[in-house]
Structure 1
Amino acid sequence: MHTLPERVQICVRPSHLKAAPFVAEPYFAKRVMVAVPNILASVRTRLARLGDLGRKRSPILRKVPRLQVLIEWAARIGYGARGFVYLSVGILVLLAAMDVIGDAVGTKGALAWMASRPLGRLWSLLIGLGLAAFVMWRILQSVFDADHEGRSWTGLGTRMSQLFSAFSYAALAIAAFGLLAGAPDDVAADGVARSRDVASTVLHLPLGKWLLIGGGLTIFAIGVSNIVKAAREDFTEYLACSARLCRRVAPLARVGHVARGLAYLPLAGLVVIAGFHAEASEVTSFGAALDAVERQPAGPWVLAVTALGFVAFGAFSFIEARFRRIRPPKELKPLP
């Protein structure tokens, strides 16, 4: 009598037994979890061999730094681009508080303002590339644990915030590249219009009112987390500089994070109110929220202090661009 092959026999069951549903799914998932890292390792090995072969044969390629060095350069450029953006925001907000210019602006407003200056498209391109490099570094930090935070609750929380940061700076980089086509005539009005368009889209979704409220609460949580981070974080932990210099630059980071945190709160409140009223017209931009703060008693002083905080955050980003320990992962293997 002919016997069935082993693989076929495994699938044969007596008719009175119930077939277990989804038996193949765990097996398939396990195969995928094993296969994906192997594929990544294989691709990385092949690229490394290709790079070594190219270095042996081409004098030009021998001068190209190793991948680890290129990643470090990209990360430092990214920190510098972030510092330039926040330094620009701080200066523009300070000028608005002193009534030298019209309205205060946020990060996207600062990019649009620079794009409208001489050589604006060049600035937009350079900042967009720098921010894209910073997004790459944030992904290495969060997904591939470049900073060796580990899988503790604290480490996972840090990596999750780095992932959210990657999304936000990716949006900012896209905005910078979008300005290559030209800056809007009215930066402040354009920012408000964009925010209201997004709010209107959200309100037309199922449970849109509650989604908008949730968005406002998320902005509020981001602001509070920046303030908490300013109080608890050791910002010199990742800096490769002398103890004396670290003591001097740490206050810049604390002041900068407090300023960022407080600046988010007015916008969060306006978004939550707009959600409760289900009115997209009540939503405003980051810069317009700062303008609302300026119209309050002692508002110009509050706005000026916030602007100096943004300048401090930008300055600390330049410090990080120079002194931060950049440790690119040797293997691009995602850590859960």
Structure 2
Amino acid sequence: MNANALSMNARGRARRASRSRAVDVGARAGFVARGVIYLLVGTLALRIAFSDGGGQQADRGGAIAEIAGKPFGSILLWVLGVALAGMALWRLSEAFFGQAGPDGHKAGKRAVAAARFVFYAFVSYSVLSYAAGDKGSGSGSSDRQTDDVTARALEWTGGQWIVGIAGVGVIGAGLWMAYRALTRKYHKHLKTGEMTRRSRQAVDVVGVFGGTVRGAVFATAGGFAVAAAVRHEPGRAKGMDDTLRSFTETPAGPWLLVLIAIGLAAFGLFSWANARWRKI
């Protein structure tokens, strides 16, 4: 067998592995884990809306700390971290071999899958590190981390442009998330034929509402980053926690944050629907 045939054989085995039962289970477990995090962030945001939150963070770090404080919390964090690693490996397989669907092999979709792999790999590492005893990993304030990163970036040559462009990118990503939710683009990724009519209706409620709210939160955070770049003030950039708290400063007061919190929880439920009906 020549080298070309060996290479094709190896690629074939890798492609089959990317469609294996293990990858399928890992991806679905990852959706469950993502749902847990969004449900907890939504719950923490509700607490903040009705009080000062007791010093809790309405972000991923706050969710991790919330789980750690429960009975068997350490075990739950290990499970969560491994599930997120399964999500990362699925996204990596999509980057190499394409997504499910007729247009899943496009270069743009593979690039997005690669970016998602990096994100979920980082989140998984943070959760697992926290579970292993590194309490500074994963549970740190997203606001402080955002301030630190923005401050360092603004010190670079052309730092204002870098932060501003990054902020515009986050705004664009948020608007794209909201657009996809409102137009129900997620339908093409779901096994809708296996759903009952009531299930489809329920998935559309949490998918449209949750996805739109998630996009709005991202776009708002991007707006704060742009403001930090324009004014050259790192403190104007906000992480998830401060972004959510900013909604209480609108004329609607805490009730807008209540709506946002419910939307984030709804996206958590939508993630669980993906765990059941997503095309892997």
Q: Percent identity?
A: 25
Inter-partner Cα distance in structure 2 for 1:45 and 1:224: 39
Q: 2:67 is matched with which residue?
A: 114
Q: 2:142 is matched with which residue?
A: 191
Q: Give, as a single letter, the amino acid of the residue that structure 1 aligns with 2:47.
A: L
Q: 1:27 is matched with which residue?
A: none
By how many angstroms is 1:143 displaced?
3.1
Q: 2:180 is matched with which residue?
A: 229
Does 2:262 correspond to 1:308? yes
Q: 1:15 is matched with which residue?
A: none
Q: 1:76 is matched with which residue?
A: 28
**Structure 1 pair 206/222, CA: closer, same or farther in 2 (3 Å)?**
same
Inter-partner Cα distance in structure 2 for 1:134 and 1:140: 10
Name the Cα RMSD after superposition: 2.9
Larger Rg: 1
Inter-partner Cα distance in structure 2 for 1:175 and 1:69: 26
Inter-partner Cα distance in structure 2 for 1:79 and 1:125: 16
Alignment match of 1:41 (pick from 3, 6, 9): 9
Cα deviation 1:270-317 (Å, max 9, x = unaligned): 211111222223322211111122122213111111111111111111
SS in 2 for 1:318: helix
Inter-partner Cα distance in structure 2 for 1:261 and 1:137: 23
Q: 1:95 is matched with which residue?
A: 47
- Relative to structure 2, which stretch is displaced further, 67-76 or 79-88? 67-76
Inter-partner Cα distance in structure 2 for 1:141 and 1:44: 15
Inter-partner Cα distance in structure 1 for 2:85 and 2:125: 9
SS in 2 for 1:147: coil
Inter-partner Cα distance in structure 1 for 2:68 and 2:254: 26
By how many angstroms is 1:228 displaced?
0.8
Q: 2:190 is matched with which residue?
A: 239
Q: 2:86 is matched with which residue?
A: 133
Q: Give, as a single letter, the amino acid of the residue that structure 2 aligns with 1:93.
A: A
Inter-partner Cα distance in structure 2 for 1:258 and 1:70: 31
SS in 2 for 1:325: coil
Contact 2:98 2:104 in 1 (8 A): no
Contact 2:46 2:258 in 1 (8 A): yes
By how many angstroms is 1:79 displaced?
1.1
User: Which is richer in helix?
Assistant: 2
Contact 1:149 1:156 in 2 (8 A): no
Q: Give, as a single letter, the amino acid of the residue that structure 2 aligns with 1:42.
A: A
Does 2:271 correspond to 1:320? no
Inter-partner Cα distance in structure 2 for 1:298 and 1:249: 28
Aligned length: 270
**Structure 1 pair 219/37, CA: closer, same or farther in 2 (3 Å)?**
farther
Cα deviation 1:117-140 (Å, max 9, x = unaligned): 443332322211111111111222
By how many angstroms is 1:197 displaced?
1.5
By how many angstroms is 1:80 displaced?
0.9
By how many angstroms is 1:210 displaced?
0.9
Inter-partner Cα distance in structure 1 for 2:186 and 2:170: 23
Q: Give, as a single letter, the amino acid of the residue that structure 1 aligns with 2:65.
A: A
Contact 1:121 1:182 in 2 (8 A): no
Structure 1 residues 250-329: aligned runs within 5 Å: 250-326=204-280
User: Normalised by the size of structure 2, how large is the TM-score?
Assistant: 0.84
Inter-partner Cα distance in structure 1 for 2:206 and 2:104: 29
Inter-partner Cα distance in structure 2 for 1:237 and 1:175: 31
**Structure 1 pair 151/263, CA: closer, same or farther in 2 (3 Å)?**
closer
**Structure 1 pair 37/257, CA: closer, same or farther in 2 (3 Å)?**
farther
SS in 1 for 2:279: coil
Inter-partner Cα distance in structure 2 for 1:45 and 1:72: 16
Runs of 4+ in 1 over 6 A off after TM superposition: none
Q: 1:217 is matched with which residue?
A: 168
User: Normalised by the size of structure 1, how large is the TM-score?
Assistant: 0.71
Q: 2:158 is matched with which residue?
A: 207
Q: Give, as a single letter, the amino acid of the residue that structure 2 aligns with 1:305.
A: L
Q: Give, as a single letter, the amino acid of the residue that structure 2 aligns with 1:225.
A: W
Contact 1:116 1:183 in 2 (8 A): no
Q: 1:176 is matched with which residue?
A: 127
Q: Give, as a single letter, the amino acid of the residue that structure 2 aligns with 1:310.
A: L
What residue ranges of structure 2 are gaps of 5+ in the alignment? none
Q: Give, as a single letter, the amino acid of the residue that structure 1 aligns with 2:61.
A: K
By how many angstroms is 1:170 displaced?
2.3
Contact 2:91 2:114 in 1 (8 A): yes
Inter-partner Cα distance in structure 1 for 2:102 and 2:153: 35
